[in-house]
Structure 1
Amino acid sequence: MPLYNPSFISASAPPPTSNHTRLADIPASIEQVTLLYEDARRKGVTIWNDSLNTLSLDTFTNEASFAVKITPGGYYEFPFNYIGLLVGIWDGTNGFARIREFYYAEPPAN
């Protein structure tokens, strides 16, 4: 099934209603920000740290911990079929997290 790339949108945009890819640019912040909300239709996520600062990612809101650190200019693929929350915090405030989400039209069958 082909994927397509819509225009860049904010992370607060409504979830897609069909199989496709959603892109988001999240500005770097020294305060923890929500990068992705829980979504059962998500089948994959890639993140490029387009910043001069390290991006720390976690799957729950706790600024004292992290699951993954992405160095400046680094790329990370979250394990496919991860549908939960994703938060991030940078060491500085320049740049963006360039996020690409891949979606199922409906939640995958259990």
Structure 2
Amino acid sequence: MRLLCFLLTFSLFSCYETTRDCENYKTGKFYSEVYVNDVLYKSTFKRTKDLQIETYNNKIDSSKLRWINDCEVVFKTINPKNRAEKKDIHLKILTTTDSSYTFEYSYVGETKKQKGVAYKAKK
């Protein structure tokens, strides 16, 4: 009976598998949505292997990319205008679908993380 309960429990948990096909999101055109304190922030960006150009509130920001692995990247602002922009940002892709990915990000070395979703831009 214990074996049956174990197998049933194991089969229920093994059916839930998170998809992480991060390679599809290393380059391309995207838009993202992030909630911070119940406020929605949207941006668009184009990403190459080692560069990301982002537009937010009609302002363009460019960052150099350093991929740690297929699902984690560090952003370094190319021309920081203040102290906050000098801090590197660590982004980790948590899950992927065929058209989007869920991510978490924070300043490097900080424990407070934010989450968001990025979508492939329609061509």
TM normalised by structure 1 equals 0.25
Query: Whose strand fraction is larger, Structure 1's or Structure 2's?
Result: 2
Query: Whose helix fraction is larger, Structure 1's or Structure 2's?
Result: 2
Q: Which of the pair has the greater relative contact order for Cα pairs under 8 Å at 6+ separation?
A: 1
- Whichever of the two has the greater Rg, that structure is 2
